[in-house]
Amino acid sequence: MTLTALSVASEAFPLVKTGGLADVVGALPAALVPHGVATTTLLPGYPALAAASKGAKVVHHWPDLLGTSARLLAAEIAGHPLLILDAPTLFARGGGIYGDAGGNDWPDNWHRFAALARTAADLASGAVAKQHFDILHAHDWQAAMAPAYLRYAPGPGIPARSVVTIHNMAFQGWFDAGVFPELGLPPGAFALDGVEYYGGVGFLKAGLEAADAITTVSPTYADEIRRAAFGMGLEGLIATREARVHGIVNGIDRGVWNPQTDPALPASYTAGTLRRRLTNKRAVETMFDLDRGDGPIFTVISRLTGQKGMDVLVEVLDDLVAIGGRLALLGSGDAGLEAAFQAAAARHPGRIGVRIGYDEPLSHLLQGGADAILIPSRFEPCGLTQLYGLAYGCVPVVARTGGLADTVIDANDAAIAAGVATGIHHDGVTRDTLIRAIRRTVALYDRPEIWRRMQKNGMRADVGWTASGMRYADLYRSLMEAR
Ligand code: ADP
Ligand code: GLC
């Protein structure tokens, strides 16, 4: 029997993306098809969706959706059904999807994402004609109020079973208690086991309390968030709901990330034609004004933030160059870090090249041309850039945490002897651990047989969605059976 799922999120590749969340929300529907799950995605009607909504059918109209008028449009995303919440007062504005051009969060984010969640709950409990869903799958805090609406204020039909996926505990959607009366919830919802959180309203917390199942994007992160250092205040809730918590590792979309077919690469290649990567390496040198050379090029493709350990990385760049490395960095984020990386590039012309900004094709070129990708995250729920690195023969050098620990096999002596290594781990994110990891990487690069083997192992590793698509489908089915 086919199951129907409504996936609700604030971003989805290829329509709107600021990070890995979009990649996962964009790829999961196709991964569920072979397991008999038909997914519809619900997204906010940002300006970025204007092209997708052109000619779309209006399937519903709310004269008053939490105080604003809104329409629901039916369109498509990558061949799968898409519903767009067209509410211009909330979503039709310039700037970013979460805040203004200066990086300040929109002050009405509570309203924007409560409306998204209310819509999802309407769809998942029979309040919208002709729409029926077995499963409501909410991603991150922006969608997490949906199960809370199902719990406290459902529509007239049978409510769907609900799943909340935590992509990042660091973003919880906390708002002042003053917003509570505007949410359209009964007074009893403002409770310790409801939506109340530290005296205000916690969107993620509310979702985790209400959901039938909680998932996060790797088994190690599922374990880590039971502890204060990673749970960020929600560790107690996670511990008490432990039986409902599942760690399901992300996959990558092989249609988008495949070095054999990638249009962003000057030279395509496979594990059997790795020499062809040299053409891409030369292109990276040109794009980043790096000296030509045979030594390793490290890359970074990242948000420039503390989570990603970028403040420590920037401190070891002189060492990286002294050890014989070069660096091509693509990223944006914290203004101080952007300036610090640019200063390092100015200190080391020809050795460090920095591109501040967001550039999807360039991120593909870096994976296909650089030798190793540095990911020194303090915490990493899953991480996708190490998976792209594996698939592209760009060896990941990662902090041993979360999904990084789960997906990269460290080149210790035993793993090298067994021929199974795919990358380099370091424990903790300090100057010393990073310098040591960079040294180890350069030493391994200088042993071409081992290095090639690592590249090939990574390229042959199973980092697609097949296994995890099945795990999500199994979870959905188990929730239906438990009804
Ligand atoms: P997070 O979602 O925490 O930022 P992930 O590793 O899960 O980390 O996903 C990041 C995604 O964003 C990847 O697809 C990565 O390639 C992409 N990305 C990050 N920074 C940039 C950038 N500056 N330009 C292009 N793509 C980027
Ligand atoms: C978040 C996490 C990242 C994860 C992504 C997709 O942005 O920071 O680790 O890969 O979500 O699940």
Q: Is 250 in the pocket of ligand 2 (CB under 6 A)?
A: yes
Q: Tell me which residue has its CA closest to atom 7 in ligand 2.
A: 20
Q: Tell me which residue has its CA closest to atom 17 in ligand 1.
A: 19
Nearest atom of ligand 2 to the alpha carbon of 165: 12
What share of the chain has pLDDT > 70, as a percent?
100
Centre of ligand 1 to C-alpha 123, Å, is 31
Question: At 14, which amino acid appears?
Answer: P
Q: Is 220 in the pocket of ligand 2 (CB under 6 A)?
A: no
Whether the pLDDT of residue 103 is over 90: the answer is no
CATH 3.40.50.2000 intervals, the chain? 3-251+466-482, 274-460
Residue among 24, 252, 302, 341 whose CB has most ligand 1 atoms within 8 A, to mutate: 302
Looking at domain 274-460, which of 3.30.160.270, 3.40.50.2000, 2.40.30.10, 3.40.50.12780 is its CATH number? 3.40.50.2000
pLDDT of residue 1: 85
Question: What number is the average pLDDT over the span 38-52?
Answer: 97
- Residue recorded with tokens 């303090």: 378
Band of residue 186 on the pLDDT scale cut at 50, 70, 90: very high
Q: Give the 3-state secondary structure of residue 217.
A: coil
Give Dmax over CA atoms of the chain in angstroms.
67
Question: What number is the average pLDDT over the span 228-246?
Answer: 97
Closest listed residue to residue 231, CA positions, set 277, 168, 287: 168
Question: What number is the average pLDDT over the span 139-150?
Answer: 98
Give the pair of three-digit tokens for residue 159.
């409510």
Question: What number is the average pLDDT over the span 309-336?
Answer: 98
What share of the chain has pLDDT > 90, as a percent?
99
Question: What number is the average pLDDT over the span 384-397?
Answer: 98
DSSP state of 92: -
Phi, psi of 308 (to 5 degrees): -85, 5
Question: What number is the average pLDDT over the span 127-143?
Answer: 98
Q: Is 218 in the pocket of ligand 1 (CB under 6 A)?
A: no
Handedness of CA 397, 403, 407, 413 (dihedral sign): positive
Q: Which CATH number is 3-251+466-482 given? A: 3.40.50.2000
pLDDT of residue 118: 98
Show the CA angle centred on residue 431, arms to residues 426 and 433, nearest 5°.
Answer: 20
Give CA separation, 434 vs 87, 128, 393, in Å: 47, 53, 21
pLDDT of residue 183: 98
Contact 377, 429 (CB under 8 A): yes
Note the helical H segments in 39-137: 50-53, 88-91, 109-123
Question: What number is the average pLDDT over the span 357-381?
Answer: 98
Average pLDDT, rounded, for the chain: 98
Scored b (16 or more CB within 10 A) or e, 24-63 reads bbbbbbbbbeebebebbbbbbbbeebeebbeebeebbebe
CB atoms within 10 A of CB 443: 14
Q: Using CB atoms within 10 A of its CB, is residue 208 exposed (0-12), middle (13-18) or buried (19+)?
A: buried
Question: What number is the average pLDDT over the span 200-225?
Answer: 98
pLDDT of residue 41: 98
Question: What number is the average pLDDT over the span 412-421?
Answer: 98
Whether the pLDDT of residue 331 is over 90: the answer is yes
Band of residue 370 on the pLDDT scale cut at 50, 70, 90: very high
pLDDT of residue 172: 98
pTM metric for this prediction? 0.97
Contact 213, 228 (CB under 8 A): no
pLDDT in tens, 255-282: 999 999 999 999 999 999 999 999 999 9
